[in-house]
Amino acid sequence: MAPPPAAKAAQKGDMGPPKTILKKTTTKETATRSAGIQRARVEKFTQEQEIDEVETDTDSPMVETQSSSLGSQGDPLQELFARMRRDRDNRKKNSRAKLRSAHDARVTKTRTTITTFFDDHDKALTEARQAHTTRLHELLARKTALEAKMASCVRRLRDGYVAHSKDLQLVLDARIGQLTG
């Protein structure tokens, strides 16, 4: 008997593709293999659930007694749920009212702080402007006084220059008369 072709390839050192044996499988087995154990568990659970549903449908007298006992308790349960819902809504309204009042208080405080800051800033700015304006008026008065003093000094110098130039003219005229005469 001759060895299979894969064995010949392995003997030569050439590794060919591995030979797989195909086995017929059902779609259920393929699904569990491809989806894994989780899908198999879910499938098993749904089958058990279907069995339970079938059993409960056949036991209708027991279902009726349960529903009738629940029906008598339905009103107190509904009242309990309604009361719980009202209480929850009241807590929610109270919580929102607290949050709203806290928010309004913070907004009012922030606005007051900002307004106070700007009022203080405007007051300081006005005081600084008044101080600058006062200083400017003082400096302008000083400048006017210095200009008036300078004008009087220039006038005195001019009058002194004119007087000296007249004296010089008289002296020069007298000297010229002596030399010519």
Angstrom distance (rounded) from CA 18 to CA 4: 12
* pLDDT given at position 19: 57
* pLDDT given at position 181: 73
Question: Is pLDDT of 21 > 90?
Answer: no
- Asked if 14 and 22 count as a contact pair (C-beta separation under 8 A), the reply is no
**Residue 14 domain-assigned?**
no
pTM over 0.85? The answer is no
Contacts for 28 with CB less than 8 Å, ≥ 6 apart? 43
* pLDDT given at position 60: 46
Question: Is pLDDT of 111 > 80?
Answer: yes
Six-digit token pair at 24? 């017929």
**Residue 10 domain-assigned?**
no
pLDDT tens digits, one per residue of 24-63: 555 555 544 544 555 455 455 455 555 555 444 444 444 4
**Residue 60 domain-assigned?**
yes
* Range(s) of the domain holding residue 159: 31-176
**Residue 164 domain-assigned?**
yes
pLDDT tens digits, one per residue of 128-168: 999 999 999 999 999 999 999 999 999 999 999 999 999 99
**Residue 132 domain-assigned?**
yes
Angstrom distance (rounded) from CA 153 to CA 146: 10
**Residue 5 domain-assigned?**
no
Angstrom distance (rounded) from CA 173 to CA 181: 12
pLDDT tens digits, one per residue of 87-97: 999 999 999 99
**Residue 40 domain-assigned?**
yes
